[in-house]
């Protein structure tokens, strides 16, 4: 796995190039510096962790994950051995249990290869992942970005991203996802870099944390 500081230097170069075309990105980069880049190994564990993080705070997701990990429920075999009542005591909602069981069964049967996805087109990855109950665009995009190292991911439905776009362009209101997608068009094929920068901008201005990409912030 690549060294985070090497990835950060690569990210800085990419963002500087984008900033040469987009003054707002250049200002944000100057304000907050290049983001620390996190890479997670592809596979069930990483996707399941992303599912656990859906619709909850970073702190809540961390607490639930810690209980699941301690109970041995972060791999398909361990999770499938547990009934719903046990998973509920660990913090999983009924909806997330359904998702976890569906992907566990697919991985265990060999019908889903989460590592092989790295060599597949992005649209195919999105189609496969979102075919599972409870996995929508956001979850699939986060997996693509952090586990598959996809350079062109932009989760416009993410509230922090939308708020960061508002900050970036000094807008009176938080833009809708479609407007954010349009704004990000000129950042292709490196939208992941700007996504990480936007999360960093949001975290520094609000004092919050997002997805572990600002672990270097005090």
Instruction: Give the tens place of pLDDT for each residue, 59-85.
Output: 899 999 999 999 999 999 999 999 999
Cis (ω within 30 of 0) for the bond into 189? yes
Give 110: exposed, middle or buried? Use CB within 10 Å, 0-12, 13-18, 19+.
exposed
Distance CA 155, CA 125 (A): 15
Distance CA 213, CA 8 (A): 11
Of the candidates 118, 146, 174, which is a domain's last residue? 146
pLDDT value of residue 7: 85
Beta strands in 56-95 (DSSP E): none
In this predicted model, what pLDDT tens digit does every residue of 156-183 receive, in sequence order?
A: 999 999 999 999 999 999 999 999 999 9
In this predicted model, what pLDDT tens digit does every residue of 5-46 receive, in sequence order?
A: 888 899 999 999 999 999 999 999 999 999 988 788 999 999
| 124 and 53 both lie in a single domain | yes
Indicate the pTM of the whole model. Answer: 0.90
| 166 and 118 both lie in a single domain | no
Of the candidates 125, 146, 167, which is a domain's last residue? 146
Distance CA 211, CA 72 (A): 23
Select from 7, 89, 85, 90 the least CA-distant residue to 48. 90
| 90 and 33 both lie in a single domain | no
| 84 and 18 both lie in a single domain | no
Please check whether residue 39 is in contact with residue 2, taking contact to mean a CB–CB distance below 8 angstroms: yes
| 107 and 53 both lie in a single domain | yes
| 48 and 137 both lie in a single domain | yes
| 134 and 112 both lie in a single domain | yes
| Degrees to nearest 5, angle at CA 26 with 20 and 30 | 140
| 133 and 101 both lie in a single domain | yes
Whether 214 is covered by a domain: the verdict is no
Domain total for the chain? 2
Structural domain boundaries, residue 59: 44-146
pLDDT value of residue 216: 62
| 162 and 69 both lie in a single domain | no
CATH value at residue 18: 1.10.1670.40
């Amino acid at each position: 796995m690549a060294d985070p500081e090497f990835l950060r230097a690569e990210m800085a170069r990419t963002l500087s190039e984008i900033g040469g075309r987009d003054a707002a990105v250049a200002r944000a980069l100057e304000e907050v510096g290049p983001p620390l880049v996190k890479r997670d190994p592809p596979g069930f564990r990483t996707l399941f962790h992303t599912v656990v993080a859906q619709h909850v705070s970073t702190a809540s997701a961390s607490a639930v994950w810690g209980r699941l990990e301690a109970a041995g429920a972060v791999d398909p075999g361990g999770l499938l051995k547990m009934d719903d009542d046990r998973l509920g005591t660990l913090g999983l909602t009924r909806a997330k249990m359904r998702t976890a069981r569906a992907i566990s069964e697919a991985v265990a049967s060999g019908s889903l290869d989460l590592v092989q996805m790295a060599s597949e087109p992005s649209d195919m990855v999105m189609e496969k992942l979102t075919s599972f109950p409870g996995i929508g665009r956001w979850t699939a995009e986060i997996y693509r970005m952090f586990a598959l190292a996809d350079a062109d991911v932009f989760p416009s439905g993410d509230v922090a991203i939308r708020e960061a776009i508002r900050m970036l362009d000094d807008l009176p209101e938080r833009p809708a996802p479609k407007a954010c997608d349009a704004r990000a068009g000129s950042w292709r094929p490196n939208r992941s870099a700007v996504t990480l920068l936007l999360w960093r901008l949001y975290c520094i201005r609000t004092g919050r944390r997002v997805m572990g990409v600002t672990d270097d912030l005090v």
